[in-house]
Amino acid sequence: MKNLIYLVFSLFLATNISAQKKADVTFGVGGVCGSCESRIEKAYDVKGIVIADYDLETHQLHVVYKTKHFPDILDVHRLAANIGHDTDLVTASDEQYSKCCNYREKTGKHKCAGNQKR
């Protein structure tokens, strides 16, 4: 009897876990160096984010997230904007931007701490 109860509970739990809705998105995020890449990926190391991978060459961030934790896609974009990186939908505040490496500068005068790839 205990085995039957355990089996039913396990099946119920497995069904609930797999039923959680996830979204898979890719969007642009501003950044120019290895330090930017690390900061961006670290910002997405939060509950509800399953995968976050920033491609420095293409300036694209691939994110898989649980919609229960992030019901609005703008909340996913704000994670990057909150650390000073613009996305396709959200622009970082000047205050947040001033804390990063000034990737917006077209003159190449970036304050990069990481490996610069331009």
Q: CA 64, 93, 66: angle at the middle one, nearest 5?
A: 15
pLDDT at 117 over 50: no
CB 90 within 8 Å of CB 80: yes
Give 3's pLDDT tier (boundaries 50, 70, 90). Answer: low
Q: pLDDT tens digits for 27-66?
A: 999 999 999 999 999 999 999 999 999 999 999 999 999 9
Indicate the length of the chain as a whole number. 118
Q: Which helix (H) or strand (E) holds 42?
A: helix 34-43
Domains of the chain: 21-118 (3.30.70.100)
Give the separation between CA 63 and CA 13, rounded to whole angstroms: 25
Give the separation between CA 103 and CA 101, rounded to whole angstroms: 6
Q: pLDDT tens digits for 82-97?
A: 999 999 999 999 999 9
